[in-house]
């Protein structure tokens, strides 16, 4: 079983988008997957409630009260962390994760907030034990703010594993309880390409 935590104490950075789409990727390939929504707002579980029965199954769990156990047959667990997470909560979450993804938006406020958060990670020996990767989210390449974000992320001691496009496809997917991998390929070819390095990093380049 592999457990993936998506976390950033700043709200609105795309944690739920990454969590739901990653869970749908595994469901599409018939990998038994659980989605644990740790956020009291329950955005990931709301997405799951919209999901059609014709799509691959995802086992949803309300983790907002500390429930982290999953069925034995589950092979992949994706956890959507809440915003405003305390250091004590982070330590507990990191202890239960094999991989940690930190989405960062290309805005000055988000870049500064990510800098503070990552600084805390690098200083905390407990948190440093986890395998951590950065994801540039809602990225519009060839813009100044994206260049600033890329330069910032590249200076850190944590690898940037992917950059996800700023596209309406994620909104369309969220409305229907789908992931972009489950949409018509001609609509999402470019988006799926941006996910390839992220999946490769999570799976350590191993086939499922």
Q: pLDDT tens digits, residue range 76-88? A: 999 999 887 777 8
Residue 159 domain flag = yes
Number of separate domains in the chain: 1
pLDDT-derived band of residue 149, with 50, 70 and 90 as boundaries? low
pLDDT over 70 at 187, yes or no: yes
Which residues, 6+ apart, have CB-to-CB distance to 193 below 8 Å?
none
Domain limits for position 73: 2-202
Query: Reduced to 3 states, what is the DSSP secondary structure of residue 174?
Result: helix
Average pLDDT over residues 44-49: 95
pLDDT over 50 at 38, yes or no: yes
**β-pairing verdict for 99-104 and 160-165:** unpaired
To the question of pTM greater than 0.95 for the whole model, the response is no
Residue 121 domain flag = yes
Looking at residue 139, what is its pLDDT? 66
Looking at residue 91, what is its pLDDT? 83
Residue 35 domain flag = yes
Residue 187 domain flag = yes
Phi–psi pair at 164, nearest 5 degrees: -100, 135
pLDDT-derived band of residue 128, with 50, 70 and 90 as boundaries? low
Instruction: Indicate which CATH number applies to the domain containing 48.
Output: 3.40.50.300
Mean pLDDT is highest, among 3-12, 20-29, 148-157, for 20-29
Residue 208 domain flag = no
Residue 207 domain flag = no
Share of the chain above pLDDT 70, in %: 90
């Amino acid at each position: 079983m592999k457990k993936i935590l998506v976390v950033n104490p700043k709200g609105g950075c795309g944690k739920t988008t990454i969590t739901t789409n990653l869970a749908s990727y595994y469901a599409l390939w018939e990998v038994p997957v659980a989605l644990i929504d740790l956020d009291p707002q329950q955005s990931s579980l709301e997405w799951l409630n919209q999901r059609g029965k014709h799509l691959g199954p995802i086992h949803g769990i309300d983790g907002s009260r500390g429930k982290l156990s999953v069925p034995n047959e589950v092979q992949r667990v994706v956890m959507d962390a809440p915003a405003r997470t305390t250091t004590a909560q982070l330590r507990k979450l990191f202890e239960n994760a094999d991989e940690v993804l930190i989405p960062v938006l290309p805005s000055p406020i988000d870049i500064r907030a990510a800098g503070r958060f990552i600084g805390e990670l690098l200083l905390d020996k407990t948190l440093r034990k986890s395998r951590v990767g950065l994801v540039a989210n809602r990225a519009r390449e060839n813009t100044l703010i994206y260049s600033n974000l890329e330069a910032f992320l590249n200076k850190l001691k944590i690898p940037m594993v992917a950059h996800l496009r700023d596209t309406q496809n994620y909104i369309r997917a969220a409305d229907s309880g789908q992931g972009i991998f489950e949409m018509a390929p001609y609509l999402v070819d470019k988006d799926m390409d941006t996910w390839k390095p992220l999946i490769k990093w999570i799976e350590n380049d191993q086939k499922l």
